[in-house]
Structure 1
Amino acid sequence: MKRLMTLTTALVLGAGLAQAQDFTPGADFMNQWDLDSNGGVSLVEVREQRGNIFAMFDENSDGRLSAAEFVGMDEHKQLQREAGMGPGRNRPEGMTGPMGNGVGKGRGGQMGHQSGFDRPAAEEMRSLDANGDGIVTTAEFVNGSANWLRMRDRNGDNMLTSADFGPPRG
């Protein structure tokens, strides 16, 4: 729980700073996920960050996410919402609808289902349970990285850049 509160505090503080900056779609994501600062997020970086996320919510460090840990994930998302964070939070005034952040979208940008940010964690994690045993392991979570990247990569270059965020470009 201590790790969760530390991360939540950092995210809330970061949200305030980001709101003071000019609007740049995906800027917060790129700052957090572009580990080598080369302007793009590769599959290697996605796998590393997803491993870090898993570890953050795996309270007892057993390499498995339990029902109680899913609740912790939902509580974390609720804290982010209350802090004005989450998909579309930097939406310019007057802009409505999905921001094109790729969450819950296929490559074509069409909404196919409720975004992962809005779905209960237990429901979201079911799709990662590769062997159907009701338990999501570190390996199952991290192995979902390629699909996670593919869903957000608008131009199919296997790299997330600022061009993969914001409204679709004509």
Structure 2
Amino acid sequence: MSKFVKELLQQDFEQRIVNDQIDSFLIVNTKGLSGNENNRLRGELKAKGIKLLVVRNSLFRKALANRGMDAARALFEGPCTLAYGGDSVVDIAKEMSDWVKKIKNLEIRGAYVDGSALDGKGAESLAQMPTRTELLGQGVMRILSPGARVAGAIAGPGGVIAGCVKTLADADKEAA
């Protein structure tokens, strides 16, 4: 590959980092996947907003360095495919962990999250973390649960008293 083509490819990688707002990603090894497996993987991930990009390591390392993402440079050894997009890197890790179980040749190599690089095991542990949506749901539940308990405590005795008054009123009507 000529120097000019390499520079164009590096610039394309840098533009993708900026345009697609790639700040966190997973690195997987797709070597050994059949064409059908690769197409099925890409199609189903695309439906979930996750993109796969096969990169040339030396050029992508330079693009990362130019974008201030030096910590991720060490992750790019051997055949690498970048998985990015989705709601968060945790969503990507969960999806890729599911795919690793389905396709034996697929391997999670590492991840880049919030300015730090994770090895393969660290990247796989991301799949065990709650997603952003799950965290928001847990937060809302924790905010609303004390109020629900207070409302239940207030309504509980009031309901009992109202039931007693109604029973007395019904008894007076029957007696009359």
Q: TM-score range by the shorter chain?
A: under 0.3
Looking at both structures, which has the greater relative contact order when contacts are Cα pairs under 8 Å and sequence separation is at least 6? 1
TM-score, normalised to structure 2, is: 0.22
Question: In proportion to residue count, which structure has more helix?
Answer: 2
Q: Which has the larger radius of gyration?
A: 2
TM-score, normalised to structure 1, is: 0.22
Question: In proportion to residue count, which structure has more strand?
Answer: 2
